[in-house]
A = this chain, B = another copy of it.
Amino acid sequence: MIFEQIESEGLAHYSYFIGAGGAAFVVDPRRDVDVYLALAAEHGVGITHIFETHRNEDYCTGALELAGKTGAEILHGSALDFAFGRPVKEGDVVGVGPLEVRVIETPGHTDESISLALAEAGHDGTPFMVFTGDALFAGDVGRTDFFKDRLEEMAGKLYDSLHTKILTLDDGVIVCPAHGAGSVCGGAISARPLTTVGHEKRTNPLLQRSRTDFIAAKIAEHHPIPPYFATMERYNLTGPPPLGEAPPMRPMTADALEKAAGRGATLVDLRGPSAFAGGHVPGSLNIWQTGISAYLGYYAGYDRPIILIDDAAPAPRNAETQARRLGFDTIDGYLGGGMRAWYRSGRPIGRCGTCSVHEVDLAAEGQFVLDVRETATRLAVGAIPGSHSIPVEEIAGRIREVPRFKKILVYCNTGYKGSLAASVLLRNGYQDVTNILGGMSAWIEAGREIRKETGKEALPAV
């Protein structure tokens, strides 16, 4: 049997390629489907089925493109009216070579969510593996906050799907979720890439709760909803544009980049926070390479060109791929030759300040300490005394909370989101912005004072 878990880093998304007896199926394919085609060719098997556990919100599905290239049938839940594929229902069994895939309807994250139980031939359908999509993760469960007017209903549905469906499978069934640690689709997904029904039953904190408590906890959760989700939902209902037709990025000169920026292009600097601080293209956003999946969707629009900026000459293909997974097809180009080309061109250079935690003087006058971490982290870990909280996703919309004429000290957990926040402030005309490198991690390591919020009850860090 061929079993491949394909991780899309940044998204922390898992898709799966399972093959046996010359046939194969794919669960939740990502938009760039070459990886599945290569596996099929390497093993000499045909992809006959594609399962979508649900309409994904955080990336473009590759199901249609993969189906077009393989002739595979697309199968998804029946509670949503997809423009493609065939709906399946509870108990439907699909044979793939000698394997049997049984459909389990597991609504909650969305209405049409399904899980897929996999059994080998000769086991009377007894599954040894289940693909749970966004219903059950390692150490966490799926979000239930997409329908603002149905929060309680959806949380209840998820509870029921978990307790009356997935958890009734044998403890020894291996659980293959659609996301791993770091995904925006969960709050506190564990680092183990695979898990089991039994292990989750025993250790997953949300599975220890009563139905009432579970619903309450889910309602209390607060997850970011990046603006690009709306486009993903539309794409994944009707089918996104084929990726095969998107032209690859092209290098641009410093001059062309400057002109494009003048016409409204979004400049994205892919380097780390100290590189951005030491010198950058004025007006650029600093989203480090592995942060593209998580943060580009907040700051880029589908109707504006995107230009990528990196340190070295090769085309930043990894960042391009991440952007395309989010459906961004307006990547006009990248700075040819890297930042060196900008420096050599004799153009202005932006900078921001950096400091270590030792250099922060909380008693200093005229400064404003800005915490851009998620609220839950702030509550759970504590914060620099006197710091003001605006999660990095919300900076642009809440910029008026940041005083114009003070020295702004930004921090996050490590310094990357801090640098993104700094870049947003600089774009908005702030002059004196300093990023605390190492952020809260360094603050703690250095033994500096931590303040936990009082008066307000800390939420569970889910």
Chain A residues at the B interface, C-beta cutoff of 8 Å: 1, 3, 20, 22, 37, 40-46, 68-71, 120, 123, 126, 128-129, 170-174, 181, 190-203, 244-245, 247-251, 253, 271-280, 289, 311-315, 317, 334, 336-340, 342-349, 351, 354-358, 414-416, 437-439, 441-447
- Protomer copies: 4
Contact of A123 among B46, B203, B244, B346 (CB under 8 A): B203
Contact of A44 among B41, B337, B342, B354 (CB under 8 A): B337
Q: How far is the CB of A281 from chain B (nearest CB, A)?
A: 11
Which chain B residues lie closer than 8 Å to A194 at the CB level?
Answer: 3, 174, 194
- CA distance in complex: A45, B128 (Å): 32
- CA distance in complex: A193, B190 (Å): 22
Question: Which of A22, A337, A414: most chain B CB closer than 10 A?
Answer: A22
> A43 contacts B415, CB within 8 Å?
no
Which chain B residues lie closer than 8 Å to A201 at the CB level?
Answer: 172
> B336 contacts A45, CB within 8 Å?
yes
Q: How far is the CB of A149 from chain B (nearest CB, A)?
A: 37
Which chain B residues lie closer than 8 Å to A40 at the CB level?
Answer: 248, 315
Q: How far is the CB of A182 from chain B (nearest CB, A)?
A: 12
> A251 contacts B192, CB within 8 Å?
no
Question: In the complex, given contacts A128-B199, A171-B196, A274-B274, what are 13 additional A-B residue pairs having Cβ atoms less than 8 angstroms apart?
Answer: A1-B192, A41-B248, A45-B336, A46-B251, A128-B195, A170-B202, A274-B339, A275-B275, A275-B311, A278-B279, A345-B442, A346-B441, A347-B356
> A343 contacts B253, CB within 8 Å?
no
Which chain B residues lie closer than 8 Å to A438 at the CB level?
Answer: 342-346, 349
- CA distance in complex: A1, B357 (Å): 29
Q: How far is the CB of A116 from chain B (nearest CB, A)?
A: 15
Q: Could you list 29 A-B pairs, sorted by A, with CB under 8 Å?
A: A1-B193, A3-B192, A45-B251, A46-B336, A69-B248, A128-B192, A128-B203, A129-B192, A170-B198, A171-B198, A172-B197, A172-B200, A174-B194, A174-B199, A196-B196, A274-B277, A274-B279, A275-B278, A343-B414, A343-B415, A343-B442, A344-B439, A344-B442, A345-B441, A346-B441, A346-B447, A347-B356, A348-B356, A349-B354
